[in-house]
Structure 1
Amino acid sequence: MPYKTILVHVDGSSHLDARVNIAASLAIAEDAHLVGAAVTGVSKIAYESMAFGQVDPHLDKYLKIAQDRANHALDRFDALATAAGVASRERRLVDDELLGGISVQGRYSDLAVIGQIDPDEPSPMLYGNFPEYVAMNCGCPVLMIPYATELKQTGDNVLIAWNASAESTRAVHSAIPLLRRAKIVHVAVFNPGEWPEAHGEQPGADIGLFLARHDIKVEVTQQKTDIEVGDALLSLAADLGSDMLVMGCYGHSRFREVLLGGVTRTMLQSMTIPVFMSH
C-alpha cells in the first residue's frame, strides 16, 4: 500500500530541520500529504476543566506559552516544506500531552517520522521513552531519525534485519513502498542456526524471493556473531554503507512504561542511520 499520509513530529529542537527534510523527501517521492504535528504538551483533562470554567490563571498563561512555542515550530515546518517543494501539506497544532498526542495522530497516517532522543538536548516536553512509546502505540510504521544525521533523504541502500518473526514481517510489508525505490536492499539473517524452524533449509531465501517478486533489488546474507545482535547490525550497516535499517519493534507497553527487547533498545540508543520500525 502506498503512503498517502506522512506524519512528522514538529518541535523546537535543533534536529527539526533534518527530520522535516527527510519527511518532505518521502512525501514528494510518494506523492503523499505531509502533516506536521506540534503538541502543546498539556493534557486534554486540563482543556476540559477550562471548558467548564475551572480556569487556573497560571495554567492559562502556560497554555498560551505552549501554543506559541508549538506555532513557532510549525512556522519552521512550513518554511522547510515549502523550500523542499512539498505540494500537499498541513500544519497541525495538537492540544494534548506528547506521548498520546503524537500516537493518536499516527493512527490516521501511513508513516510517522520522529526523532531519536538527544541526551545533550534535554527538553521538559520530550519524555525519555517518547520514540519507543510512539512506535509501540501509534499503529503505523515509524521512521526514527538519529539526532546525529546529516542526511536529507534516505532509502537508497537499505538493510533489513530479518529473523522471520511476526514483527519483522510487519516491518518488511510496511516498508515495501520504500524498498521498491531503493537501489539495493540487503537482508541480513543473524545466527540462523539458532532458529532453524523459523528460517527453513535456506535462511533468507523465502524473504528474498518475496521481495524480488515486488521488483525489489535484493541480496541476502547470513551472518554469525557472538556479540549482541544490535551492535552487529550497526557494524554491518556501516560496512554496507546503508542509509536505512528496517526491523521489527519488539516489546510491550504499559501506562507510561515501555519494556523493549535488547535489539530494539540498542537501536533506539545507538542508531547511526534512520531506523524504520513496525510493531
Structure 2
Amino acid sequence: MTYHTILAVYATQADVTPVTTAIADFAAGTEVHLIGCHGEPSQFVVLSAPIDVPDAATIAALYEQADTRMREVGDAFDKACDLAGLSHEWRPVRSPGGDSAISALASARTADLVVVRQPNRDAGEDIATNVEALLFEGGRPVLFLPSDGKLASPIKRILIAWDGSRESARATQDALPLLKAAEAVNIVVVDPDKLPDIDAPLAGTDIASCLSRHGIHVNITTVSKGTGSTAEAIASQVAATNSDLVVMGAYTHQRLREWLFGGVTRAFLENSPVPVLMSR
C-alpha cells in the first residue's frame, strides 16, 4: 500500500460517512493522510425585476446558505475522521461555479489517489461534481465508490479491463499498490481482433508479463461482446470472477473533447456494482 495522501471529494454531506468509512477501512494499518474537499460558489448574481438590479437580500441569504453547507460538511468530515483515527485536514474552497471537483483540482495534483462516491440515482441524487475535470485535469487516479460507499477490505480480487491503450496502461500502473496486495488479478480483453493496439493471438500477454515482474500473477480472458456492449461484457466478467474492484482507463474523444459516456466509461460510472479505479 503506497497511497499515503488521499483526497476525498465531498459533493454533499451525504458523501461524508460512506466515503470516509471506506477510506479508513481501505487504509487500515497504514500511514495515510486524508484531505477532504468541498466547494461552494464564490459569487452569486441575482437580479430583481423590473429594473434588473442586484437583489442584495437574496444574495446575502445565498452566501449564508453556502457558508452553512460548508461548515456542516466540514464538521461531519472532522467528526468522521476523528472517529476513524485518521490523520486529516479540511480544505473548503470557493470557486465561481462552486463545483467540488473543480475546487479540488489543485489538491488532487498533490495526492496519490482521489476518491469520489457515485450518486444514488434511486434516491434522486445526481452527479454533483465535475468528474470529467477530476479524470482529465487532476492528473491522478480516481477511485469511484458505488453509491453505498462499499469497498472490500482487503481488496482481494481485481479485474483489469485491458485494451492496450495509453489509458488502460496508465490505470494499470496507477493500481500497482492494489494489484500487488490482491489475491487474484484477472485481465479481460473484449474483442481483441477489433482493437488497434492489441495483437489478437497474444492479447494481454505483454501486460501480464510486465505485472509478473512485480510479483503479480494474472489470468487472461478474452471475450466477445456479441450483440451486447463492451460494458456488459466487462460487467459479466466482474460477476464471473467475483471481483472487488475494476481497473480501467477513462476515455474522451480527442477531436471534440467530449466524453465517450455513451460507452464503457459512462456505463461504469453510472451503474457499477463495485468500485472502479480510473486513470487518464
Query: TM above 0.5, one fold?
Result: yes
Q: Note if contact 2:16-2:80 (Cα within 8 Å) is conserved in structure 1.
A: no
Per the alignment, residue 60 of structure 1 pairs with: 60
Whether contact under 8 Å (1:39, 1:70) holds in the other structure is: yes
In structure 2, stretches of 5+ residues that fail to align are 45-53
Call closer, same or farther: CA 1:55–1:7 in 2, change over 3 Å: farther
What secondary structure, in the 3-state scheme, does the structure 2 residue paired with 1:139 have? coil
Aligned mate of 1:103, from 102, 105, 114: 105
Distance 1:111 1:254 in 2: 28
User: Identity over the aligned pairs, expressed in percent?
Assistant: 31
Partner of 1:277: 278
TM-superposed CA distance for 1:82, in Å, is 2.4
Q: CA deviation at 1:176?
A: 0.7
Does the 8 Å contact 1:27/1:34 carry over to 2?
Answer: no
Amino acid of the structure 1 residue aligned with 2:88: R
2:253, 2:5 → 1: CA distance? 26
Structure 1 gaps of 5+ residues are 47-53
Aligned to 1:265: 266
Distance in 1 (alpha carbons) for counterparts of 2:258 and 2:103? 17
Partner of 2:180: 180
Deviation of the 1:118 alpha carbon: 2.5
Q: Which amino acid aligns with 1:118?
A: N
SS of the counterpart of 2:202? coil
Q: Which residue of 2 aligns with 1:159?
A: 159
| Residue 115 (structure 2) pairs with residue 113 (structure 1) | yes
Paired position in structure 1 for 2:138 = 138
User: Superposition RMSD on alpha carbons, in Å?
Assistant: 2.9
Post-superposition Cα deviations, 1:117-176, rounded to whole Å, max 9, x if no partner, equal 2224456xx656633342222221100111145446463211100001000000001111
**Equivalent residue, structure 2, for 1:91:** 90
> How far, CA to CA, are the matches of 1:60 and 1:258 in structure 2?
37
What is the distance in 2 between the residues matched to 1:196 and 1:66? 49
Worse-superposed segment, 181-190 or 151-160 = 151-160
In structure 2, what is the equivalent of residue 237 of structure 1?
Answer: 238
| Cα distance in 2 between the residues matched to 1:55 and 1:163 | 54
SS in 1 for 2:119: coil
Cα distance in structure 2, aligned partners of 1:152 and 1:188: 21
C-alpha contact (below 8 Å) 1:158/1:184 kept by paired residues: yes
Counterparts of 1:10-49 in structure 2 under 5 Å? Answer: 10-28=10-28, 30-40=30-40, 42-43=41-42
Task: Map 1:201-220 to 2 at 5 A.
Answer: 201-220=201-220
Q: Structure 1-normalised TM-score?
A: 0.84
Q: Secondary structure of 2:203's partner?
A: coil
